[in-house]
Amino acid sequence: TYALFYINPIFFIIIYLKLKKKKILKLVLINNQFECNQYFEDVNRSNCWDITQNIRKRMYELLKIRNNEKDKPVKIEEILRNNTTLISKNVNIYPYENSNLFNGSIEIIFDEYLRILNSNESCVKKLPYYLIPIVSNLRFLLKEKLKTNNFIYKSNDKAYSNIVNNINHENCDSDKIAKLYHYELEALIASSIIAMTFSFLNIKASNRKINHNISSSISSISENIRQNKNIDGYDNNLYKQFKENRGRSLKLKSNFSIKNFKNKKTLFENAIQIYAEFQSILIMNSYLLQSMSIMDNLPEFQEFFSMYQYQCEEAYYNMIDFFRINRDNKISFIFNHLYTIIGTEKQKEAYLEYLEEIYYIMFNSIIAN
């Protein structure tokens, strides 16, 4: 059974403030700050928002600090899905360990943002800034699955030689929790690259190269933006990109339909839930950027408000089985096999090599410790 849910667990938040032994009920409407999102998920599985519970708790704490409510006790009621019904869950918010965070520089705040997403590492920081949100997103997904012993890969696969599951973790609801298979992770990376061919990775921008000179010693996000913005005159404004590019550079040769799900039901049952979790992390990623005022201090990050440029669900489903069966093929071969690219043969070859380079840089940053 599948369903589209329109309830975001933080769309309605009820905050109880205990002041002078009186309980004051305050309904906080998030209409102007947060979006109500829909997800296609298996209602017999665990709620796709469960994976972001730690991010949400940190965000609530950060909002308290930002709004100068450090000492006020707060209880937040979240509205969550449980099978086909909605339930409430209380979250107690305690003082954040770094109560002076917003008195620091944007560099300190950005490091905290990455830390919350398990990504405050040099391999992430040295990426072009427009790859940091999606890489941190997928790192968080992978790390959470490793914590619960739910990342599945071949033990003899050298690509994952440094990956270690938490084998001591006991899964009480193992049949309800979606496992992340290596080919799903790889398809998520590849599909995000396909999505970015509408904007940052469009063929018109493919003359840009990954700036390998941003070494681990240069960890400044401001310097990262300066070095990677408007290279060769390319405009990073998302609206202008969409208007100029008019579509993704790679287009599927054959559309993905519901028949594909029916033919491989078991394969896609899990994949659907993984994509729902991926989307929930993306949205929380955006909420963090907003609540930590990163979008205010770094205007370039306003382009990531919707996280739309990282999502191409059809590409994800279209590539899962291909990654599962053709693990050893080059990414450029997979892209060329499944997608149509407009341009001369020389242009297409150079562009696919460029996208393949992006893929492996992202992949290595995601699986790094």
Q: How far apart are CA 332 and CA 319, in angstroms?
A: 13
322 pLDDT above the threshold of 70: yes
Q: How far apart are CA 144 and CA 138, in angstroms?
A: 10
Two tokens at 131? 């790859």
Q: Which residue carries 């997403």 as its tokens? A: 117
Q: How far apart are CA 96 and CA 137, in angstroms?
A: 22
**212-243 pLDDT, tens digit each:** 443 445 679 999 888 887 554 445 566 666 66
Which band of pLDDT confidence, cut at 50, 70 and 90, is reported for residue 6? very low
List all residues 6 or more positions away from 34 whose beta carbon is below 8 Å from its beta carbon.
Answer: 8, 10, 11, 287
pLDDT attached to residue 77:
79
83, 50 contact by CB (below 8 A): no
Q: How far apart are CA 338 and CA 334, in angstroms?
A: 6
Per the model's pLDDT, the better-predicted residue between 63 and 18 turns out to be 63
Q: What is the 3-state secondary structure (H, E, C) of 57-94?
A: HHHHHHHHHHCCCCCCCEEEEEEEEECCEEEEEEEEEC
4 pLDDT above the threshold of 60: no
pLDDT attached to residue 236:
55
88, 79 contact by CB (below 8 A): yes
Q: Which of 253-267, 302-316, 342-356 has the lowest mean pLDDT?
A: 253-267
pLDDT attached to residue 171:
57
Two tokens at 215? 């070494």
Residue 160 CA: distances (Å) to CA of 122, 149, 330: 19, 15, 17
pLDDT attached to residue 240:
66
Which band of pLDDT confidence, cut at 50, 70 and 90, is reported for residue 66? confident
pLDDT attached to residue 123:
93
Which band of pLDDT confidence, cut at 50, 70 and 90, is reported for residue 301? very high
The residue-averaged pLDDT of 197-223 equals 68
pLDDT attached to residue 112:
95
Q: How far apart are CA 1 and CA 366, in angstroms?
A: 32
Q: Which residue carries 């208007």 as its tokens? A: 243
Two tokens at 124? 């992430």
Q: Which helix (H) or strand (E) holds 181?
A: strand 180-181
332 pLDDT above the threshold of 70: yes
Looking at the DSSP bridge assignments, the partners of residue 86 are: 81
pLDDT attached to residue 242:
64
Q: How far apart are CA 364 and CA 208, in angstroms?
A: 20
CA 41 centroid distance within chain: 17
57 pLDDT above the threshold of 70: yes
36 pLDDT above the threshold of 70: no
pLDDT attached to residue 245:
66
Per the prediction, the chain carries an average pLDDT of 79
pLDDT attached to residue 325:
85
pLDDT attached to residue 173:
59
Among residues 219, 226, 53, 188, the alpha carbon closest in space to that of 120 is found at 219
**251-298 pLDDT, tens digit each:** 888 877 666 666 777 788 899 899 999 999 999 999 999 999 999 999
Percent of the chain, pLDDT > 70? 75
With H, G, I as helix, E, B as strand and everything else as coil, classify residue 231.
helix
Two tokens at 366? 């995601």
Q: Of 88-92, 111-115, 345-349, which has the strongest mean pLDDT? A: 111-115
Looking at the DSSP bridge assignments, the partners of residue 152 are: 181
217, 293 contact by CB (below 8 A): no
With H, G, I as helix, E, B as strand and everything else as coil, classify residue 12.
strand
Task: Supply the pTM of this predicted model.
Answer: 0.85
